Amino acid sequence: MAAKELENYKIKADGVEVGISIAKEIGSVPAYTVKAPKPDIATAAYLETIKGDMLRQIRLTSAEVLDIKLMADLKKKFLDLAVKLVNERIPNLAQQKAEELAGLMVQDLLGLGDLEYLLRDDMLEEICVNSAREPVWVYHKKYGWCKSSVKIATESKIWDYSSLIGRRVGRQITAQDPLLDAYLATGDRVNATLSPISMFGNTITIRKFARKPWTITDLILSKTISEEVAAFIWLAMQYEMNMVVSGGTGAGKTSMLNVLCAFLPQNQRVISIEQTREIVLPSYLQWVPMVVRQGGREGKGDVTMLDLMVNSLRMRPDRIIVGEVRRAEEAEVLFEAMHTGHSVYATMHAETVFETFKRLVSPPIELPEVVLESLHFVLSMYRDRRSGIRRVFEIGELIPSEKGGSVRANIVYKWRSSRDKIEQQNPSVRMIDTLRTYTRMDDEEIKMTIRERAAVLSYLAAKKINDVDAVGRTVLDFYESHDELMKKIGYK
């Protein structure tokens, strides 16, 4: 039976337009076909000559080749020269064709070959090179895992791509160091391994991130979170309550944390600490992003998550954002920061509020329960593998025992799959008590400010305001021009 085409569309990479076709036969995974232009044999041979001329005319410095920040400028320089040389050497060629041939040369010289097309497809979440023996696999937002038509010819070519990616961020992958964690200029996260660590061949795994950062508007419109729940978290973050966002792989932990950080007041200093840059905060915030560094084989030059967390405490932060807590030492420093008066937000692998609590108090992290008293909230994320939807699954408060030494979880909100709705399960205890104690608000005023914030978020969703800075400015207006904003949105 012939494959049924599910979808087709076009993308553009470095001036080269390609067609994408996704088709499926019954009983097989979808086929993701890249229809890219290929020059004929004579033109390809001529392009090799032009590439040699380009390399002679543009003197490359090691800084340009290896610095990820200079790559965009270098690519533009090569593209401009490539178009010029193609027009000179192949007269009467249409401009679109000249730009296409130039783009193909630049991809070969400075890029990742046919992988560049996959990197430009915003519908892909994951790109997996498993070896030179099989095609590249991709994870599509709509169709899940697909087998692509792209294939890397040799194991050495996969190694070359891995080495190129690593060098641009000051890392290396060798037979002695066969594992690599790195990132691309776009912020996409890369993991690479060399044979025989990966027995079938060399591998590259690229986790793609959205080119446009998510905002609270996007998450409300996609039903990941409701206005009421987002307003509740907004109030908690304004009054400096600590929070961990948990969830499984790909559940949207970092995206959720990134979105919620738009609620931070502008008069505070924010330090973010990550393995790979993913956090994007509004431009008006005083924000210092920090990223770990992997040293050589002997560990010389390593700058670990723990190093950055300890150092951040000396930078007078008001808020500390930690990409992911994995080890006991990191958790200890994290909770020490909470105890010393800093507001801390982090992500962690755990499916539910209860599992997050158990992971914190069990080996290998094994924190005493009394230490967890400084953690106010756990927000857990859920991802349905079949449909791809992401939802806030639970929001739970950690409430210290009156006798001390232990905590219990109070689930305030929970997602109901049968109704696909996030509903209140129990009244908030800890946040209400904290606000009563440290502000002049009574219970009714607390409910009113949550309603007001929910109205602001509904306005953003209705108007589809989903730019990071635009959302941030609206939050800023709520803090500084409250009455004018509420009048603007028509709140009564």
Q: Do 343 and 414 fall into the same domain? A: yes
Clarify whether residues 260 and 200 are in a common domain: no
Q: Look at residue 14 in the predicted model and tell me its pLDDT.
A: 83
| 28 part of a folded domain | no
Catalogue the E-assigned strands of 116-219.
Answer: 124-129, 137-140, 144-148, 179-183, 189-193, 203-207
Assign residue 127 the CATH number of its domain: 3.30.450.370
Q: Does residue 296 belong to any structural domain of this protein?
A: yes
- Residue 441 CB coordination number (10 Å): 16
Residues 310 and 195 in one domain: no
Task: Provide the token pair at 203.
Answer: 């591998």
Answer yes or no: is 299 within a domain.
Answer: yes
Give the angle 328-329-333 at the CA atoms, nearest 5°: 115
Q: Are 270 and 340 members of one domain? A: yes
Nearest Cα neighbor of 291 from 300, 303, 283, 281 is 303
DSSP 137: E
Q: What are the pLDDT digits (tens) for 316-354?
A: 999 999 988 888 888 988 898 898 888 999 999 999 999
Residue 258 lies in a domain: yes
Q: Which domain holds residue 223?
A: 216-488
- Asked whether residue 125 falls in the same domain as residue 178, the answer is yes
On whether the CB atoms of residues 158 and 112 are closer than 8 A, the answer is: no
Can you give the CATH number for the domain in which 470 is found? 3.40.50.300
pLDDT per residue over 225-246, tens digit each?
999 999 999 999 999 999 999 9
- Strand pairing of 243-247 and 31-35? unpaired
What tokens does 6 get? Answer: 């599910």
Nearest-angstrom CA–CA distance, 442 and 438: 11
pLDDT recorded at residue 41: 82
Same domain, 185 and 250: no
- Alpha carbon dihedral 355, 361, 366, 369, in 10-degree steps, equals 160
Residues 135 and 262 in one domain: no
Contact 408, 401 (CB under 8 A): yes
195 and 318 co-located in one domain: no
Identify whether 63 is part of a domain. Answer: no
Cα distances from 325 to residues 63, 116, 360, in angstroms, run 33, 32, 10
Residues 417 and 305 reside in one and the same domain = yes
Does 16 map to a domain? no
Residues 228 and 317 in one domain: yes
Domain count for the chain, please give it.
2
Contact between 30 and 140 (Cβ < 8 Å): yes
Q: What is the pLDDT of residue 1?
A: 55
Q: Please, what are the averages of pLDDT over each run of 10 residues along the chain (492 residues)? A: 86 89 92 90 81 77 59 78 84 83 83 91 94 96 93 96 86 89 83 94 91 90 96 96 93 92 92 83 90 67 85 93 88 88 93 95 91 94 85 96 83 94 95 90 94 97 94 94 95 84
Closest CA to 413 of 234, 245, 225, 259: 225
In-domain check, residue 108 = no
Which of 190, 210, 230 is the endpoint of a domain? Answer: 210
72 occurs within a structural domain? no
Which residue, of 146, 177, 210, is where some domain finishes?
210
What's phi and psi for 395, nearest 5 deg? -125, 120
Domain final position from 191, 210, 229: 210
Task: Tell me how many degrees the CA angle 481-482-485 measures, rounded to the nearest 5.
Answer: 85
pTM of the complete model: 0.77
Based on the domain organization, do 396 and 441 belong to the same domain?
yes
Q: How far apart are alpha carbons 291 and 294 in whole angstroms?
A: 10
Q: Are residues 326 and 196 in the same domain?
A: no
